[in-house]
Chains A and B, each alone.
Chain A
């Protein structure tokens, strides 16, 4: 069963892609992109996990006394989350402007050029 966490990350990514491709609403599509991105969090944290490991913070545990999980992937995940949040905000602001200019949030109706 040790591949199950990896497989769940792959499943999250694929289900997010499915949502992106079939979405009829741009806000829904931005949400699906966030799902795709959360697959990377799951993958990173899965790679870094160590059986019985604790957080790699040594303010209350003595160094070397307990196994710690991989701090590198945790750092990557942390920055990924912050960047994801701001990029989602940027995409949502694009959706707001699209809704204002075109009066629709359905990507299929946005095929023609205007203005």
Chain B
């Protein structure tokens, strides 16, 4: 299909979809209205189960099974990236040369590292209380480790980041989620049902299984992001391919 024809097909299809979407927009409930049947019920259920952060309650209690699916997508994406970005036979590793870092950058990155790590762990631990949770906190924790790459060099990052261990921990986070879900079966409840005592509202131990599932997600997201970034950094920094492309030579 030529480029011009493709643009025409796109224009016709795009216009059709645009008209349908516009019609649909006028059929949706008014913006900012008070009619939120699911929202009201979710808030009610979260309060009944002593979870202050309703979003965590929705993710790890009311829709815990859906979150298992989303977590598995995350796990699968990390696994796929690890497989795709592995070192192939015609590539070799070259340890990168350390480059001097500007003193202010080094100072502030080293200062920010422990603070960021602490904030990440705080966000994970307080997921059932305040805005945040395992997904967001995990990303913050993973980011904090990479401040070492900015502050020092790649070898320092590699020292605190044994990728194999993080890959195992990534899988352990996924397994922990499943095991907490299966533990509910032992008590006679349904898979991933909230079976622990709900605790006191607005304290760290409130919400039953929500903090446990939250922590499992936190471990998985933190380790998953570390592994993802490690693979991309390997490609950018360490892995060198000897510019020999047999296919391209055969074709020309």
In the bound complex, residues from chain B placing their C-beta under 8 Å from that of A94 are: 84
Smallest distance from the beta carbon of B28 to chain A beta carbons, Å? 6
Q: How many A-B contacts are there with CB distance less than 8 Å?
A: 165
In the bound complex, residues from chain A placing their C-beta under 8 Å from that of B42 are: 56, 70-72
In the bound complex, residues from chain A placing their C-beta under 8 Å from that of B6 are: 21
Q: Mark A71-86, 1 if CB is under 8 A from B, else 0.
A: 1111100110111011
With A22-B7, A68-B39 already in contact, the answer to whether A82 and B74 are too (CB < 8 A) is yes
Q: Mark A82-115, 1 if CB is under 8 A from B, else 0.
A: 1101110110111011001101000010000011
B43 proximal to A (CB < 8 A): yes
One of A7, A50, A86 near B77 (C-beta < 8 A): A86
Q: In the bound complex, what is the Cα–Cα distance between A96 and B34 (angstroms)?
A: 47
One of B17, B66, B77, B133 near A89 (C-beta < 8 A): B77
- Residues of A bordering B, CB below 8 Å: 2-7, 10, 13-14, 17-18, 21-22, 46-51, 53, 55-59, 63, 67-75, 78-79, 81-83, 85-87, 89-90, 92-94, 96-97, 100-101, 103, 108, 114-115
Instruction: Please give 11 more A-B residue pairs, beta carbons under 8 A apart, in addition to A68-B54, A69-B39, A78-B136.
Output: A6-B28, A17-B10, A17-B14, A21-B7, A22-B10, A49-B31, A53-B32, A79-B70, A86-B228, A90-B77, A93-B231
The 12 sampled A-B contact pairs (Cβ below 8 Å) are A3-B28, A6-B24, A14-B17, A18-B14, A57-B55, A57-B130, A58-B202, A59-B130, A71-B54, A72-B58, A79-B135, A93-B85
